Amino acid sequence: RVLAGPFATMNLGDLGAEVIKVERPGAGDDTRTWGPPFVGTESTYFLSVNRNKKSIAVNIKDPRGVKIVKELAAVCDVFVENYVPGKLSAMGLGYEDIDKIAPHIIYCSITGYGQTGPLSQRAGYDAVASAVSGLMHITGPEDGDPVRPGVAMTDLATGLYAYGAIMAGLIQRYKTGKGLFIDCNLLSSQV
Q: Is 14 a catalytic residue?
A: no
Per the residue annotation, which of 29, 97, 99, 155 is the catalytic one?
155
Rounded (10°) CA dihedral 115, 117, 122, 125 = -70
**Pick from 27, 12, 49: nearest CA to 152:** 49
The string over 1-29, giving b where at least 16 C-beta atoms fall within 10 Å of a residue's C-beta and e elsewhere, is: ebbbbbbbbbbbbeeebebebbbeeeeeb
Give the E-state strand segments of the chain in sequence order.
19-23, 38-39, 42-43, 53-57, 78-81, 106-111, 180-185
What are the Cα distances from residue 134, in Å, to 21, 104, 159? 32, 37, 19
CA dihedral sign, ordered 172, 182, 88, 32:
negative
State which amino acid sits at residue 24: R
DSSP state of 145: -
Longest Cα–Cα distance of the chain, Å, equals 55
Which residues belong to the active site? 155
